Amino acid sequence: MAYNLLKSLIPLIEKYEQETGGKDDLQDFLQWAAGSKNNNLSRDRNGLDIPPGENLEGVLGKYIVFLYRYARSYVKKALEDTALSHFDDFAFLVTLFVDQALSKTALIQKNIMDKSSGSEIIKRLTRHGFMEEFPSELDKRSKLVRLTKEGTIALLQTFEKMGKVSMLISGSLSEAEKIQLFELLHKLHHFHLPIFMEQRHRSIDEIMKSGRA
């Protein structure tokens, strides 16, 4: 039995070595094999469980929206007994935790949000004492925002539960599937980011005509 399995692996290993230039790494091989298998399975749309009257792109969009809603519901539960009220509060504070200090515009853009909504979040967090403004050393006329001591404490108190939320969101995916999903979402992020930054005020038709899609 084991010998038959070994025989079936040999052609796969040979293909891996050809595609990677003879790379000798077990973990990399396992990830490559999982990705190769998934790619082969996903080439034919006819075998997918797509409801009548819908198409693949539409279902993908629907599942992405559903995943966003699932995530927000888990986050709401995780923040129930903390000083933070919303997922966006956590997102803004953790961005400052990583970057230390940012302009308001940069903070809002890093969280992929429109200016008016982002400004309201900054005002709320500042009002609660979790964030503060201070003059930039490079340009005294401009102001930056940073975490306060209270904001840091409030954020750190959420880390354990938010870590559990992250694990829950990834569901039953294997390690290889998580890596593949990361690569796909990373690719989509870098496709959509320039649209958000430069063309978000345009219509869908104008964006399509720009060659981005």
Q: What local confidence, expressed as pLDDT, does residue 1 receive? A: 46
Q: Is the dihedral of CA 102, 105, 109, 113 positive or negative?
A: positive
Burial class (CB in 10 A: 0-12, 13-18, 19+), 158: buried
Q: What local confidence, expressed as pLDDT, does residue 210 receive? A: 80
Q: How far apart are CA 92 and CA 34, in angstroms?
A: 35
What torsion, rounded to 10 degrees, do the Cα atoms 172, 192, 204, 197 define? 140
Burial class (CB in 10 A: 0-12, 13-18, 19+), 79: buried
Q: What local confidence, expressed as pLDDT, does residue 41 receive? A: 40
What lies within 8 Å, CB to CB, of 128 at 6+ separation is 83, 150
Fold classified for 63-166: Arc Repressor Mutant, subunit A (1.10.10)
Q: What local confidence, expressed as pLDDT, does residue 74 receive? A: 96
Q: How far apart are CA 31 and CA 180, in angstroms?
A: 8
Helix intervals (H) in 79-133: 87-99, 104-110, 115-127
Please report, in tens digits, the pLDDT of each residue of the chain (213 residues total).
Answer: 455 666 566 777 777 777 777 667 777 777 777 766 555 444 467 777 888 888 999 999 999 999 999 999 999 999 998 999 899 999 999 999 999 999 999 999 999 999 999 999 999 999 999 999 998 887 777 889 999 999 999 999 999 999 999 999 999 999 999 999 999 999 999 999 999 988 888 888 888 888 655
Contact 78, 161 (CB under 8 A): yes
Q: How far apart are CA 112 and CA 76, in angstroms?
A: 20
**Claim: this prediction has a pTM higher than 0.95:** no
Q: Where exactly are the structural domains of the chain?
A: 63-166, 174-213
Q: How far apart are CA 70 and CA 168, in angstroms?
A: 10
Max Cα–Cα distance, the chain, nearest Å: 74
Burial class (CB in 10 A: 0-12, 13-18, 19+), 152: middle
Q: What local confidence, expressed as pLDDT, does residue 211 receive? A: 65
